[in-house]
């Protein structure tokens, strides 16, 4: 989920924590637990600092090690331990348990969007991306905002957030059911498809779907139960081509390939050399594919510039490539 949603869920857990007598009976304990759950709800995303190094490192490791099984166990000790050292107003066990719930919930809800996490690492490095909930879901976010307003005007926070989260459980169940129906419907048209890559949108009744068969990659849209084909590309392994082989040595392209499960590539000859572009097909928006990796090479196949990340216009991409070229 996005940062704003993780923040409101952290505050919501702080309200839920008032059901714990060890927390509700001591105002100082409430403040301590609230600080711990808010920080804990953000802790797995502290790897955002990797952006300061470069996008390649960030894409390769974001939602990876910091969302792994060891991290989910370690973050609560780090966060709760630091806060307990500053404010031992509640028992460390209670503080750790609520912090653990905040960290676990962060990682758990992240697996339901199309980006996913490596939540089972180190058991499995596979990205778990269920494609059930958009990375920003208005219902989840604004239901918390409404609950905060009710809390502000006197509603008891414990029962309030308990009912909210029970309601959200049913919401997730409904979205999982809706996702499965979309895939079942698409499978009627492609019974031998090898994979369905599904991405939710802001609309509950519109889904982005990439259907992989043994021969083709079909980029489609499911809206109100109707499957619409947008584009189709041949599905084949990356060829052993001198230009592509040279481009694959670039760290930006390597990061892209470590993350993206479905893509196409374009090799373009330019006046000064070559341009290799890999395009993730999962995130089509208004006819544009914003998640790409681009590598430019000179005539001797030396890499001159490259970039990977989210780009929403050709002008922005060109600006990024020029910035990266100056840094080399």
Contact 198, 208 (CB under 8 A): yes
Q: Burial level of 141, CB count in 10 A (0-12/13-18/19+)?
A: middle
Number of residues in the chain: 328
Q: Judge whether residue 231 has pLDDT over 90.
A: yes
Q: CA-CA-CA-CA torsion for 310, 314, 320, 323, nearest 10 degrees?
A: 180
pLDDT exceeding 90 applies to what percent of the chain? Answer: 72
Please, which residues have CB within 8 angstroms of residue 2's CB and are 6 or more apart in sequence? 135, 136
How large is the average pLDDT for residues 255-266?
A: 92
Q: What is the pLDDT of residue 165?
A: 97
Cα–Cα dist 103/203, whole Å? 28
Q: Judge whether residue 96 has pLDDT over 80.
A: yes
Q: What is the pLDDT of residue 324?
A: 80
Q: CA-CA-CA-CA torsion for 97, 98, 100, 106, nearest 10 degrees?
A: 160
Q: Judge whether residue 325 has pLDDT over 80.
A: no
The domain segmentation of the chain, as residue ranges, is: 3-175, 191-234, 242-327
User: What's the pLDDT tens digit per position in 51-74?
Assistant: 777 778 888 778 888 899 999 999
Contact 54, 256 (CB under 8 A): no
């Amino acid at each position: 989920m996005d940062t704003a949603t993780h923040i409101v869920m952290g505050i919501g857990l702080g309200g839920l924590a008032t059901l714990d007598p060890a927390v509700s009976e001591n105002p100082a304990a409430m403040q301590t637990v609230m600080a711990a759950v808010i920080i804990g709800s953000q802790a797995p995303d502290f790897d955002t600092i990797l952006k300061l190094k470069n996008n390649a490192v960030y894409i390769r490791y974001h939602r990876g090690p910091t969302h792994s099984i060891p991290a989910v166990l370690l973050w609560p000790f780090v966060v709760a331990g630091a806060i307990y050292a500053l404010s031992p107003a509640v028992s460390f066990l209670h503080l750790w348990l609520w912090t653990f719930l905040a960290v676990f919930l962060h990682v758990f809800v992240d697996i339901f969007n199309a980006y996913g996490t490596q939540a089972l690492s180190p058991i499995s490095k596979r990205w778990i991306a269920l494609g059930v909930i958009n990375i920003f879901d208005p219902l989840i976010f604004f239901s918390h905002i409404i609950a905060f307003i009710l809390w502000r005007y006197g509603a008891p926070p414990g029962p309030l957030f308990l009912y909210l989260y029970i309601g959200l459980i049913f919401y997730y169940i409904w979205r999982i059911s809706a996702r499965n129906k979309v895939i079942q419907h698409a499978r009627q048209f492609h019974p031998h498809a090898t994979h369905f890559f599904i991405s939710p949108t802001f609309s509950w009744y519109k889904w982005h779907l990439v259907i992989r068969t043994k021969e083709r990659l079909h980029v489609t849209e499911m809206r109100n139960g109707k499957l619409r084909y947008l584009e189709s590309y041949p599905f084949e392994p990356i060829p052993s081509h001198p230009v592509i082989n040279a481009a694959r040595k670039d760290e930006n392209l390597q990061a892209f390939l470590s993350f993206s499960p479905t893509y196409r590539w374009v090799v373009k000859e330019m006046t000064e050399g070559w341009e290799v572009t890999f395009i993730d097909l999962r995130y089509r928006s208004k006819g544009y594919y914003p998640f790409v990796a681009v590598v430019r090479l000179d005539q001797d196949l030396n890499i001159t510039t490259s970039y990977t990340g989210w780009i929403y216009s050709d002008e922005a991409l060109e600006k990024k490539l020029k910035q990266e070229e100056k840094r080399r």
